[in-house]
C-alpha cells in the first residue's frame, strides 16, 4: 500500500503521523511511504532521516494526498485537507467529529474511509490510541494550571504545593480516567490537595488503590461539583463519553462562584469541552478570562511536547496502521472488532452512532453500522 504523511497544519502542531522508526516498519512490510517535506523537521525527524528510513519526500501536501492510498495524520483534517480526500482512500488520525459539524460534513462528502484514533478500542475496555495522548495531556494539565496560577500569568498567586506553614493549593479533577489519573500523579507529586470526581465507582476504587490516602475520591454528583468547584484553585476537566460531545458539568454560575484567579484547564475541549464557558484555544493564545477565572482550553495539548507525543502516539498507532496496510481496510476490520470501532465515516455513511446522535439534527446524516458499511 502507498502510505502518505502530510505535514500537520493546525496552529503550533509539530507532531507527525509516522516516526522514522514507523516508516522503517512499513517499508519492511513491503509498503511505500510518502512524506511531505518538512513534516517532522521541527522535532528532529528530518527529510534526510526519513529518506534513509526508506521514505520518498514529496514537495507538497497535494502530492501526498493524490498518490497515497492511506493518509496517516495526527490532528483532525482541516477543510483544505478534507477536500483532497477521495473515495476508497483511508484516513487514519484523530477526528473528534461529534462537536464538529463542518468536518463531519466534509468527510461525508469526501466518501473516504475515516478512522478516528479516539474510538478504536481494546479488549480491556480502553481506548488504546487515545490513551498515550491522554497521558501526555493529563500530565501537562497540571503544569499548565500551575503556570497560570502565577500572578503574572493572570492567576491568584497560589503555589500548588504550598510551603511549610501555608496550605497546598486545591486541585479538582473531574473525570478519573487516563487524563485524570495522570493529572492526579502530577498534582500529588507537587504536593497539592487533590480531589477526583468520577461517576464510575469501579474507577474510583482503582484510583483509591493507586493513590490510597494521597487523594480524595468522590462520586460525581451536582452537589459534589458545587461544593468542590467553589473551593478549588485549579479544576481539570477530564471526562469522556467515547465519541460523543462532552457533558457540560460546570455551568456559568459555578464559574462565577470560583475564587478570583483560579484556573480551569478543560482537557475535554477536543470533544466540545465540559465547562459551559469553554471555547477552544491554541498554543499561540492558550487562555482567556471569564469572571476572574483563567480558562485554558487548548485542543491539541500534546502538540506542545511534540517529540514525546509523536513517539508515544506511534507506539500505539503502528500495529493497527500496519494491519490496515497489510490486509486492506475491509479485511483488517473484519479481523479486528476493535479497529472496526474506529471507523466513523465510510463511503458517505456515518458509521459511529454517537456522531449521528450529536449531529443528526443539524446535518442530513445517514447512519450505517460499521460492519454493514464495510460489507457494501
Ligand atoms: N485537549 C487535548 O489536547 C486532549 C484531550 N483529550 C481528551 O480528554 C478527555 C478525557 O480522555 P481520557 O481520560 O482518555 O478518557 P477516559 O475514558 O480514560 O476517562 C474519562 C472518565 O470520565 C468519566 N466520566 C464520564 N462522564 C462523567 C461525568 N458525567 N461525571 C464524572 N465523570 C465522568 C468516566 O467514567 C471516565 O473515568 C477526552 O475528551 C479526550 O479526547 C485527550 C488528550 C489530549
Ligand atoms: C487527542 C487529541 O486531541 C490530541 O492529541 O491532540
Ligand atoms: Mg468569581
pLDDT for 168 beyond 90: yes
* pLDDT at residue 376 greater than cutoff 90: no
Q: 177: pLDDT confidence band, cut at 50, 70 and 90?
A: very high
Q: Which residues line ligand 2 (CB under 6 A)?
A: 75, 94, 130, 133, 270, 300, 302
Is 300 one of the annotated binding-site residues?
Answer: yes
What pTM was estimated for this model as a whole?
0.96
Q: Is the CB of 179 under 6 A from ligand 1?
A: yes
Question: With a 6 A CB cut-off, is 240 part of the ligand 1 pocket?
Answer: yes
| Pairwise CA distance, residues 293 & 233, whole Å | 10
Q: What is the mean pLDDT of residues 165-175?
A: 98
Maximal C-alpha separation, the chain: 68
C-alpha cell belonging to residue 189: 507529586
Identify which of 151, 97, 136 has the alpha carbon closest to the alpha carbon of residue 298: 136
Across 332-341, average pLDDT: 98
As a whole number of angstroms, the distance between CA 137 and CA 237 comes to 11
Convert 243-264 into a string of H (helix), E (strand) and C (coil): CCCCCCCECHHHHHHCCCCCEE
Tell me whether residue 134 is annotated as binding: yes
| Active site (annotated) includes residue 346 | no
Residue 204 — φ and ψ, nearest 5°?
-65, -35
Q: What is the pLDDT of residues 92-118, one digit of tens each?
A: 999 999 999 999 999 999 999 999 999
- Tell whether 22 is in a known binding site: no
Average pLDDT over residues 340-356: 98
The span from the CA of 168 to the CA of 162, in Å, is: 4
Q: Domains, the chain, ranges and CATH?
A: 2-120+305-375 (3.40.50.720), 137-299 (3.40.50.720)
Q: Which of 14, 94, 135, 307 to mutate to test the pocket of ligand 2 (most atoms within 8 A of CB)?
A: 94
Q: State the pLDDT at residue 40.
A: 98
Q: Is the pLDDT of residue 243 over 90?
A: no
Complex ipTM tops 0.90: yes
Task: Measure 241 CA to ligand 1 centroid, in angstroms.
Answer: 7
Q: What is the mean pLDDT of residues 311-333?
A: 98
Closest residue by Cα to atom 35, ligand 1, is 200
Residue with cell 492511506: 70
Average per-residue pLDDT for the chain: 97
335, 39 contact by CB (below 8 A): no
Mutate which of 137, 179, 309 for ligand 2? The one with the most ligand atoms within 8 Å of its CB, which is: 137
Phi, psi at residue 213, to the nearest 5°?
-85, 10
pLDDT at 322 over 90: yes
| Known active-site residue 270 | yes
Mean pLDDT of 199-211: 98
Q: Tell me the backbone φ, ψ of residue 40, rounded to 5 degrees.
A: -120, 5
Closest C-alpha to ligand 2, atom 4 = 300
3 state DSSP class of 187 = helix
Integer Rg of the chain from CA: 21
For residue 298, what are the β-bridge partners?
281
Amino acid at each position: 500500500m502507498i502510505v502518505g504523511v502530510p505535514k500537520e497544519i493546525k496552529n503550533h502542531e509539530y507532531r507527525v503521523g509516522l516516526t522514522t522508526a514507523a516508516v522503517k516498519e512499513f517499508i519492511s512490510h513491503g509498503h511505500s511511504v510518502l512524506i511531505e517535506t518538512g513534516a517532522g523537521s521541527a522535532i528532529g525527524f528530518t527529510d534526510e532521516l526519513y529518506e534513509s528510513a526508506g521514505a520518498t519526500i514529496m514537495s507538497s501536501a497535494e502530492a501526498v494526498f493524490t498518490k497515497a492510498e492511506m493518509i496517516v495524520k495526527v490532528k483532525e483534517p482541516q477543510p483544505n485537507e478534507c477536500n483532497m480526500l477521495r473515495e476508497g482512500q483511508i484516513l487514519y488520525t484523530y477526528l473528534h467529529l461529534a462537536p464538529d459539524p463542518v468536518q463531519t460534513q466534509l468527510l461525508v462528502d469526501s466518501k473516504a474511509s475515516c478512522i478516528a484514533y479516539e474510538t478504536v478500542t481494546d479488549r480491556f475496555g480502553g481506548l488504546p490510541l487515545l490513551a498515550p495522548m491522554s497521558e501526555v495531556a493529563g500530565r501537562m494539565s497540571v503544569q499548565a494550571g500551575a503556570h497560570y496560577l502565577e500572578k503574572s500569568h493572570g492567576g491568584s498567586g497560589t503555589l500548588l504545593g504550598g510551603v511549610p506553614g501555608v496550605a497546598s493549593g486545591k486541585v479538582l479533577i473531574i473525570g478519573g480516567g487516563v487524563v485524570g489519573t495522570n493529572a492526579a500523579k502530577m498534582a500529588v507529586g507537587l504536593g497539592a490537595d487533590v480531589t477526583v470526581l468520577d461517576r464510575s465507582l469501579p474507577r474510583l476504587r482503582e484510583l483509591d488503590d493507586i493513590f490510597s490516602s494521597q487523594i480524595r475520591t468522590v462520586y460525581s454528583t451536582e452537589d459534589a461539583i458545587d461544593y468542590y468547584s467553589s473551593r478549588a484553585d485549579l479544576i481539570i476537566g477530564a471526562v469522556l463519553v467515547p465519541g460523543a460531545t462532552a457533558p457540560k458539568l460546570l455551568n456559568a454560575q459555578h464559574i462565577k462562584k470560583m475564587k478570583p484567579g483560579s484556573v480551569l484547564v478543560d482537557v475535554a475541549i477536543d470533544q466540545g469541552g465540559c465547562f459551559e464557558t469553554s471555547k477552544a484555544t491554541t498554543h499561540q493564545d492558550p487562555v482567556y478570562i471569564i469572571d476572574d477565572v483563567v480558562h485554558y482550553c487548548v485542543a491539541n495539548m500534546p502538540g506542545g511536547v511534540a517529540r514525546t507525543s509523536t513517539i508515544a502516539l506511534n507506539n500505539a498507532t503502528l500495529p493497527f496502521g500496519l494491519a490496515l496496510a497489510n490486509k486492506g481496510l475491509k479485511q483488517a476490520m473484519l479481523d479486528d472488532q476493535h479497529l472496526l470501532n474506529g471507523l466513523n465515516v465510510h463511503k458517505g455513511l456515518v458509521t459511529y452512532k454517537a456522531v449521528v446522535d450529536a449531529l443528526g439534527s443539524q446535518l442530513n446524516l445517514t447512519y450505517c453500522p460499521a460492519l454493514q458499511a464495510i460489507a457494501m
